[in-house]
Homo-oligomer: A and B are copies of this chain.
Amino acid sequence: MTDSPLERLNDIRTSIDNFDAALIHILAERFRKTKEVGALKAAHDLPPSDPTREKQQIQRLRHLAESSDLDPDFAEKFLEFVIREVIQHHHEARK
């Protein structure tokens, strides 16, 4: 490796920017799906949150995180962060 530290830093940042673009686009599609869930739940009078489903999601993501060397606590915090936003959307959709 003959790159200077700043060249190396810029090279890694290009990868980070690409990953961030992918994350944003997948999150956009995920919210399109949860809006569909919200509309379906509102139309059939199902409760906005589902603690059993959330527990299963957390366990699954913790395992996926472990297998990809990501901190499982971070994966759990991340899912909670996203779910908080989704539940807020669901409540707003019922206003």
Contact = CB atoms under 8 A, between A and B. Distances in A.
A79 to B, nearest CB: 7
B64 A36 contact: no
A93 interface: no
A29 B22 CA distance: 12
A44 B21 CA distance: 28
Interface residues of A, number: 47
Interface in A12-31: 12-13, 15-17, 19-31
Contacts of A57: 17, 20
15 contacts: A5-B43, A12-B33, A15-B33, A16-B30, A17-B60, A20-B79, A24-B61, A24-B65, A24-B68, A24-B70, A25-B64, A27-B74, A28-B70, A31-B71, A74-B85
